[in-house]
Structure 1
């Protein structure tokens, strides 16, 4: 990708002091990592060069930003105060540069898994906007969204923002794409199959299976929180071994019930039924996440084609009727 800005020197005024963005970026990344070695790797610098940038910024501002010992690095009181406006300032600079930036090749997007809604939505985008230049990857269970974005493995990823540890990385932007209701897949012979919906409380004691081998960690983490909050036990043993095999485990009664995103294509098997879950309805939040260096107009063009109606904001008339993990709910409140 062209347009890399991590080490680009731009100057702006902050509190009456002219500050180079390279110095400010060194501070923000070190504050995120609280480790000079890891921050230096992200900036493609030596630790000595990073330390010099931090020292120069501290000299310009006349304050100490970090307290350092042989064992740990922590933000000083001044550093804590500086971090939020510094992150905002870098976001604005990155956004401004992205407006005029270009990519040398197609936009690489990671859809996580071939059976999940983002791939179908990307196909829809290409149908609506054939001139889109996209390369699709599927990180599946092994991706690290932030690291892979920073390392150029892909330019944009779809997944749970809440799976990324706080604080939110200053160099990554996000936009909520959709809230996918999660349903319950059961055999057509199961007593529950006579119903259209089931409550979360009724799932206590029901043998639930969600194979964890090679399953995206974002889904496992989501169900871990769901199970803990509502007292639902989930068996993570085994692997899907392909979607059809996964569905057949339920259809033939090897396992009684499993969770399924209802925006996925319906299972091609009339031996199973998908029930709605209520009281509340668990929803899986899909965000688009990308490095701020990626031209924003390209991201918006893709998202608009995926939804057909501009960059989407999901309508959630009553948020008390849905369930989200705590961090996802907090990010959703910020973004809508």
Structure 2
């Protein structure tokens, strides 16, 4: 497959370089992150985001900490701290834990170098996994236009993307003509980021308000919906950007297949169902305005979850780098994730 990823992250010891996604599409500015404090701020403010990319940043947090103090106590504290910044995305914590496990296996004086080496290898695995996931996804995508939510491309993974990687591969194969993109309120990751990536990929894009998505599905022009995931429970229940549940419900009502595309590292075998997934809530100010402009009166309360949970029964298939899992999930999903561990997919 000839898909190429944009560069959004670089490991150059002792600095992590990331593209500041909070400024896109208006400005392409790179951040030079040199400390754990700077990294946690970048993650918390969504300057860097996307579940798979957060896994890489979790690992980088251990590397940055090791430059200061490579002792076991400090590295464990760093991994715990960075992993807690955004609790729904399981890969942020698991990426940090995987890097921690790798560096604690070597002498203290070699840990900083080992951590940066782990990060570089992690990025290469991520890119390979994205390409494999896209290949599996093309095989199950129906012909016709597709609808997606939030951002699941290079900006979210460091590779060609998960759901957006499948869309890019399907477009290249002539299976889709255009991609409908929700704005993804309140921070507009679809309007700002996914459209930016689609335009760079040469894929015709149509932007719509989140509130219009159900009507679009009922119009009959969409052949499939595909999204990413931040955490998948062992029964197939999936946490993703808030608004995903509404798309899944509407798609089920009109008989449009609803796919989730995510690496096996997004599956949390310790989480039995969606009811156990911690949901991050963000500041009320995000709802009442954007980009320094405010349209709601001051002091108004807001209910602002960053994610919702889609029941596995509404998901047509979960597309991973190891293949596509169809319902019923449970044992089938467990078998795939176990295979991933055996083959070293999780690092």
Instruction: Say yes or no: TM over 0.5.
Output: no
Give 1 or 2: higher strand fraction. 1
As a proportion of its length, which structure holds more helix? 2
Q: How does the TM-score come out when normalised to structure 1?
A: 0.29
User: Over alpha carbons, which structure has the higher Rg?
Assistant: 1
TM-score (norm 2): 0.29
